């Protein structure tokens, strides 16, 4: 899935599940925001209390983070979870 920053993630949704597609869009938006803010995954893992490996797999589309992780991710980036969901649903 191409992102606004030009990177491409592996297809973490080979079945085409629309719910998984929304999660992947949310993660892409979170990754783009992290990069815009100049933060690394190591910066986030400390704030979120989640392993580097877990965040890295999620950003690469290899795993689908649950609600708690998404909420912490938004909080760590000072984003509104509601706005991220709206943006993901618009795309």
Does the pTM surpass 0.85? The reply is: no
CA distances from 32 to 54, 59, 87 (A): 17, 10, 13
From first to last of its 91 residues, what are the pLDDT tens digits of the chain?
344 444 444 567 778 888 899 999 999 999 999 999 999 999 999 999 999 999 999 999 999 999 999 999 999 999 999 999 999 999 8
Phi, psi of 8, rounded to the nearest 5 degrees: -130, 130
pLDDT at 47: 92
C-alpha Rg value of the chain to the nearest Å: 12
pLDDT at 10: 53
pLDDT at 63: 92
pLDDT at 16: 85
């Amino acid at each position: 899935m191409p992102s606004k920053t030009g990177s491409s993630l592996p297809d973490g949704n080979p079945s085409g599940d629309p719910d998984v597609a929304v999660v992947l869009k949310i993660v892409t938006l979170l990754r783009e925001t992290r990069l815009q803010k100049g933060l690394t995954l190591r910066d986030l893992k400390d704030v979120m209390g989640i392993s580097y490996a877990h965040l890295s797999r999620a950003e690469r589309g290899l795993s689908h983070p649950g609600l708690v992780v998404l909420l912490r991710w938004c909080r760590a980036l000072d984003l509104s979870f509601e706005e991220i969901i709206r943006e993901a649903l618009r795309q």
